[in-house]
Amino acid sequence: MGRRGVVAVIEQERTISSSASPARGARAIHPRWFEPLGIIALMLLDAFTIALAFRLAYWARYTAQLGGAVEAYNFQRLDDYRFYALLLVGTIVVAFGVRGLYRLPRGTTFLAEATTAWGAVTVANAAVLVIVFLQPEFVSSRLFVIYAWGTILLLVTLERGVRRLVRDQLWQRGIGVERTVVVGSGPAAQRVMSYLATNNDLGFHLVGFVDDLPVGEDWAIATSRSIMRPRQLGESDALARVIKDAAISEVVIALPPQAHDSILRVITTCRDADVGFQLVPDVFELSLGRVQINELNGVPLISVRASRIRGWNLWIKRGVDILGAAAALIVMAIPMLLIALAIKLERHSPGPIFIKQTRVGKNGKDFTCYKFRSMHTNAEEMNDLVLPNGNGDIRLRKHKEDPRRTRVGRLIRPTSLDELPQLVNVLIGKMSLVGPRPQVRAEVNHYEPWHHQRLAVTPGITGLWQVSGRSDLTFEEMVRLDIYYAENWSVRLDLEILLRTPRAVLSMRGAY
């Protein structure tokens, strides 16, 4: 959701004003009208890619004869594989459709898309092999079958990577973006619009918002780089007109939960106008994250799913933590040595290299957390100089210009290098590579009851909060991300977070 799509005033730089009128060409073709054509084009592109991969596999085995010479009696012409190739192409494309690869939600990561495609290719390839091997006249090199499978995986992955690059370039130019309006102006709506203003990888263009409540002139959304003031396009009754006049294709409903009648009217308006809509649940619903519906003698029962990090999943995560932390300590040994030397040699702030802090871990139990010292030794006495972060929340006591930081600390805190000693905490089982941010007891003492759900899992060095904006997010947003992680954990999710961490660290967004 792009910063370019926000009707905003950027203070300290320049004023950006944007009309609610549609972008050039927005009225000519509604995005939903040509969506089926886009799906067909993607299917044809996949079919071409798979056929090309099949042809390359044939060349590798029978022309280049990689893997050993092919005996004359075992040599097959490309035409002999025609049935195999056509069946394989069709089956994989169908498998892609069944797995939802042609209707992926915006925001789906490349890793998630690629792994889904790999699974579809593997299952489809196995099914086709069973069919073709039942043909009495079919003869094939076993290496060719392996080559075909591997080449298809490679080219399909590359194709999707290139498609994403092209798509992002089109979005940068305003092509293919979803023109979006938010209904509401309360805290939930502000969070949505803030996300729209600070994320440019989902292809949404925020035109403005509608709401029945008046909004003050000084109302604005603070981001890490600017002050955003989305435009109010009218009251909620004007939504139908706004959708028509501004060529809206997506509506985000962020009204308070008690406004049931208003929500129903907005949904009806969206359906009548044939535009997509998404509902933002209230904080309580978000804290539950995922529910499970059961039945007892015809009576529906709703229960909250427990954390997925339990049983075998817990052992798998622990094994990954041990291997990952050990490897990271080996790779980062020299950088850690240099950081320790810099701290030791700093004249303006003598003191120990490492510090020990008591943090709250899994199930609310205290543990000792290790870090490189990045503050003066009298930091505790200077706490009164440190204000809460921009959200005014004492549960996230951060300051962009923290006076307690040392010279070395100004370098290692924004890059999170001060947290490298926590790899030792991971090895001894007090922390994980990925998990919720460990907080101090003084912060936890101000939790509301539902906030304690984030303490159900082992805290981590990195996590969804760290790769989603860190201290630029509110405490409520951090808790929701942590609960979502606990309820949706998977090895793939951990891998995605770990892969996103270097980018988040280098960007230093919300790092202070």
Q: What is the SS3 string spanning 207-235?
A: EEEECCCCCCCCCCEECCCCEECCCEEEC
Pairing, β 232-234 against β 250-253: unpaired
Per residue of the chain (512 residues), give pLDDT as tens: 333 333 333 233 333 233 344 443 333 344 455 677 888 999 999 999 999 999 999 898 788 777 777 665 566 777 878 888 899 999 999 999 989 899 887 778 888 899 999 999 999 989 888 887 776 665 566 788 889 999 999 999 999 999 999 988 888 777 778 888 999 888 778 778 877 766 666 788 888 899 887 766 656 665 545 566 788 888 888 899 999 888 888 898 888 777 777 888 888 888 888 888 888 765 444 444 455 555 544 555 555 555 677 778 888 999 999 999 999 999 999 999 999 999 988 877 788 899 899 999 998 899 999 999 988 776 665 655 554 544 455 555 555 566 677 888 888 888 888 899 999 999 999 999 999 989 888 888 888 887 888 888 899 999 888 887 665 677 777 888 888 888 788 888 898 899 888 887 776 665 55
- How many Å apart are CA 49 and CA 55, to the nearest integer? 10
Map 37-59 to HEC letters.
HHHHHHHHHHHHHHHHHHHHHHH
Q: Are residues 486 and 410 in the same domain?
A: yes
Is 289 a member of any domain? no
Q: Are residues 163 and 189 in the same domain?
A: no
Q: Are residues 499 and 386 in the same domain?
A: yes
CATH number of the CATH domain containing 200: 3.40.50.720
Q: Are residues 454 and 337 in the same domain?
A: yes
Max Cα distance, the chain (Å): 85
**Number of independent structural domains in the chain:** 3
Is 287 a member of any domain? no
- Given a contact cutoff of 8 angstroms between Cβ atoms, the answer to whether 416 and 442 are in contact is no
> Quick one: pLDDT at residue 129?
84
Is 512 a member of any domain? no
Q: Are residues 67 and 157 in the same domain?
A: yes
Q: What is the DSSP string of 111-148?
A: HHHHHHHHHHHHHHHHHHHHHHHTSTT----HHHHHHH
> Quick one: pLDDT at residue 18?
39
Phi and psi (nearest 5°) for 158? -65, -40
Which residue, of 147, 172, 197, is where some domain finishes?
Answer: 172
- Given a contact cutoff of 8 angstroms between Cβ atoms, the answer to whether 181 and 150 are in contact is no
Is 198 a member of any domain? yes
Domain range for 167 is: 35-172
Is 306 a member of any domain? no
What is the chain's percent helix, strand, coil content, to nearest 5? Answer: 50, 15, 35
- Given a contact cutoff of 8 angstroms between Cβ atoms, the answer to whether 179 and 26 are in contact is yes
Is 298 a member of any domain? no
- How many Å apart are CA 360 and CA 455, to the nearest integer? 8
Q: Are residues 332 and 469 in the same domain?
A: yes
Q: Are residues 71 and 185 in the same domain?
A: no
Q: Are residues 102 and 67 in the same domain?
A: yes
Which residue, of 280, 298, 320, is where some domain finishes?
Answer: 280
Is 304 a member of any domain? no
- Given a contact cutoff of 8 angstroms between Cβ atoms, the answer to whether 32 and 270 are in contact is no
- Given a contact cutoff of 8 angstroms between Cβ atoms, the answer to whether 480 and 281 are in contact is no
pTM over 0.75: no
Q: Are residues 212 and 267 in the same domain?
A: yes
Closest CA to 243 of 281, 209, 212: 209
- How many Å apart are CA 342 and CA 352, to the nearest integer? 12
Which residues 6+ apart lie within 8 Å of 480 measured at CB? 283, 286, 287, 289
Q: Are residues 183 and 168 in the same domain?
A: no
Q: Are residues 192 and 331 in the same domain?
A: no
Q: Are residues 363 and 503 in the same domain?
A: yes
> Quick one: pLDDT at residue 201?
67
Is 30 a member of any domain? no
Phi and psi (nearest 5°) for 276? -75, 155
Q: Which amino acid is at 95?
A: A
> Quick one: pLDDT at residue 282?
57
